Structure 1
Amino acid sequence: MSEGAKLTVQELDKRFGDGDDAVQALAGTDFSIAENEFVTLVGTSGCGKSTLLSIVAGLEEPTDGSVLVEGHEVEGPGRDRGVVFQAYTLFPWLTARQNVEFALRDEGLTKSDVRQRADQHLRMVGLERFASARPNELSGGMRQRVAIARALSYRPLILLMDEPFGALDALTRQLMQELLTGIWEQHRLTVLFVTHDVEEAIYISDRVLVMTNRPGRIKAEVPVDLSRPRSPEMLSDATFLEPKAQVLEAIREESLEALE
């Protein structure tokens, strides 16, 4: 394990099925993330990004290898990891506040403390005025903000995000990126993020990991030296365009290889 790593993925393999029908999704995937680091996984479609995130979340078991959080092996879902998916996964019959409160039911908190923490996290994502609204009364971006508030409410060690803004329109997506980077810059979270959007990956991350075609492994590691706080004006900076070009070239190489 890398010294001081919050998350370590060691020689991870994942195979679906047996015999001639087996599909090798991941092979020898290896990386670590430091405390308070924001790292994004990118790669061609089907390269295993979401499978890898599911294994880190404890929702899938690896065929071989291991995932460690602060040196302890992941053996299933746990409250040390918060997860946000592209689908909002909110309970439609509960209000925004109640959806966040539901995540706190096993925290051993008093009813008033649960309410206070739920309101604190809805305020963090700018939804304090919509605490009593149900999901069908909220826009897509607002629902995703509730999902983020819920994932952060029980204070996980690591936040895992799988294409969380993929279903949003371009403007809402940009606003959500700004919201997320603002929360990260204020609260210094450890984040593993999955996206197919290279600009998004560069904009939000400290480091971008490019995966190979299936079976997925880490092909390239691209550091992002943009200063923080981030702003949309940075999208035309050389410090943004250079890592973007590196990531696109690595993905292009994998795409050409797949075509051949």
Structure 2
Amino acid sequence: MATLTIKNLVKSYPAKKRERNTVLNNIDLTLANNEFVSIVGSSGCGKSTLLSIAAGLEEFDSGDVLVDGNPIQGPGIDRGVVFQSYTLLPWLTARQNIEFALKAAGYNSSESSDRAQQHLELVKLGNAADKWPAELSGGMKQRVAIARALSYRPKILLMDEPFGALDAMTRQQMQQLLLEVWEKHRLTVMFVTHDIEEAVFLSDRIVIMKPGAIDETLDVNLERPRPISITRSDAFAELQQHVYDRISQPLEMV
């Protein structure tokens, strides 16, 4: 599908006690075509800011953010975005929420209707197309949000703690569904999470951040497709412990 390249990225905000508070300092990161990469780190390390910049939702001080070698120019349909909050319009049905996004992206009514239904079926919600958001569970709402993000066929999927508000069982089901969709469509995925087990289960690679910088990049050499039983393996436990130990180390402020 696509390669996402981030070069020498610097992002800062105004601060009271000093001129600028640097939250990302010379970040270099490349997501290869069809790669699933998770970003983990302590709260405030800059992982969500990094994703927002990749989505074109935040400006940055210097550096480059490229999709297939082309600089991003704000948000675009080459990148689908899913947040922790469901961001569904309550006055529209599940299908209409997806159609609304498609029409905004330039698709006509017929194409929007067809794509909306197709992608609801992809996330196993074909029978819930005419339900209102208030009638959907948290997991179902997030499945609609994922269907919406995928409906205009983005090259890259950016996900910021999309399962953080879900209960443990629903979260596990959503992880398995996401892998099923990813393995079918082979998207390039940037996935921000605070859940280490989730990162290991989903990813080809894990980027471990410390405040403002990348501390380590870890390859996840586990079989695919991944059954849920793999989370009980020694190899999985070793990877999980390694990431936990890196995040738990005392960190210096940028």
Residue identity in the other structure for 2:8: E
What is the aligned partner in structure 1 of residue 218 from structure 2? 222
After superposition, the C-alpha distances for 1:80-128 in whole angstroms (9 at most, x for unaligned) are 1100000011110000000011111145444222211110000000100
The 4+ residue runs of structure 1 with deviation greater than 6 A are none
How many angstroms apart in 2 are the aligned matches of 1:58 and 1:189? Answer: 18
Residue identity in the other structure for 2:120: L
How many angstroms apart in 1 are the aligned matches of 2:236 and 2:162? Answer: 22
Deviation, structure 1 residue 75: 2.4
What is the aligned partner in structure 2 of residue 145 from structure 1? 143
After superposition, the C-alpha distances for 1:110-148 in whole angstroms (9 at most, x for unaligned) are 422221111000000010010000101000000000000
Q: Report if aligned partners of 1:6, 1:70 keep a CA contact under 8 Å in 2.
A: yes
Mapping 1:150-169, distance limit 5 Å:
150-169=148-167
What is the aligned partner in structure 2 of residue 205 from structure 1? 203
Residue identity in the other structure for 1:86: Q
- TM score, norm. by length of structure 2: 0.95
What is the aligned partner in structure 2 of residue 92 from structure 1? 90
Residue 9 (structure 2) pairs with residue 9 (structure 1): no
Residue identity in the other structure for 1:238: D
Residue identity in the other structure for 1:61: E
Deviation, structure 1 residue 212: 1.1
Deviation, structure 1 residue 21: 5.3
Residue 240 (structure 2) pairs with residue 244 (structure 1): yes
Deviation, structure 1 residue 239: 2.5
What is the aligned partner in structure 2 of residue 189 from structure 1? 187
Unmatched segments (≥5 aa) in structure 2: none
Q: Report if aligned partners of 2:163, 2:174 keep a CA contact under 8 Å in 1.
A: yes
Change (3 A) 1:24 1:110: closer
Q: Report if aligned partners of 2:12, 2:24 keep a CA contact under 8 Å in 1.
A: yes
After superposition, the C-alpha distances for 1:141-184 in whole angstroms (9 at most, x for unaligned) are 00000000000000011000000000111111111001101111
How many angstroms apart in 2 are the aligned matches of 1:153 and 1:113? Answer: 10
Q: Report if aligned partners of 1:177, 1:204 keep a CA contact under 8 Å in 2.
A: yes
- TM score, norm. by length of structure 1: 0.93
Q: Report if aligned partners of 1:222, 1:246 keep a CA contact under 8 Å in 2.
A: no
How many angstroms apart in 2 are the aligned matches of 1:50 and 1:257? Answer: 18
